[in-house]
Amino acid sequence: MDLKKLIKKYDITLFREGIQTGYKKPPPEDMKKIRIYKTEIKEIIQKLNEEERRIKKERIEKSIQPVVEGEILIDFGIVGHDFKNYQAWIYDKDVESKDVQDIMTGAIKKLLEKNGIEDVYVSNSCEFIKKNGDVPFCPATEDRLPQFYMDIQRDAEEARKNGYNDTVVTSFSAKLSDILSKYITEKTKKKEDPKKKEETLDRLKILFDDDEADAGYHQACENAGIPSFLR
């Protein structure tokens, strides 16, 4: 008996400790088979699910590095109703829509780790890019876009649909590394500053006591024109 055909025909899935059929209810004779081979069906579904997860993981990991390297671009388009914004997405022939969030999340983490930034929580990749990336406010004209953006489009119909005139940019693309460049620089600087201060204080402590060393550090920063919030 081909149990895989039975599983597919009635959309049988795992449910709690057992199995359940989909919306299409099996006739009595098939229901009897399902009950008889319940354990075998459950094992087959578990193996199918494991295989599906493995294939998905490989598919996602295959696309993460090209996004990090800029071979696959991050695309932006207008979304929203009351509060419109340019949302990040990936429209690439080799990327399935259902994988986009996972690919962008993986690429963000890998890019940050590559730059020494670890333990960054990304709950939603679209929101992370909107919040931390160099993304213009919507609506934007072409002169307001950072220079690294490319494939800039002004679709008059799309603009009117969103309540804008035809000078508004409706879509554009960029490398993830360019979009997060400022964020990476700020994060890296925050990591370096405490270390730099500690090294400077250690050198000053050779000549002064602790209080004098701290005062000497701030005086040196002031002389160099470094604002207090960066010390």
Q: Write the DSSP string, 145-199.
A: S-TT-EEEE--HHHHHHTT--TTS--EEEE-HHHHTHHHHHHHHHHHHHHHHHHH
Residue bearing the bigger pLDDT, 176 or 227: 176
pLDDT > 70? residue 215 = no
Note the pLDDT tens digit of each residue in 164-173: 999 999 999 9
* pLDDT, average across residues 202-229: 60
Q: Break the chain into its structural domains and give their ranges.
A: 3-58, 70-177, 185-230
H helix runs in the chain, sequence order:
3-9, 28-36, 38-69, 100-114, 125-132, 156-161, 176-179, 181-205, 210-223
Q: How far, in Å, CA of 218 to CA of 22, rounded?
A: 69
Give the pLDDT score at 114. Answer: 94
Give the pLDDT score at 226. Answer: 55
Give the pLDDT score at 210. Answer: 61
* pLDDT, average across residues 53-57: 93
Average pLDDT, the chain: 87
Confidence of residue 22 (pLDDT cuts 50, 70, 90): confident
**Which of 132, 127, 138, 143 shows the shortest CA–CA distance to 184?**
132
Give the pLDDT score at 134. Answer: 96
Note the pLDDT tens digit of each residue in 109-135: 999 999 999 889 999 999 999 999 999
Question: DSSP class of residue 123?
Answer: S
* pLDDT, average across residues 200-212: 58
Enter the pTM of the model: 0.73
Give the pLDDT score at 46. Answer: 92
pLDDT > 60? residue 175 = yes
Residue bearing the bigger pLDDT, 71 or 211: 71
pLDDT > 90? residue 209 = no
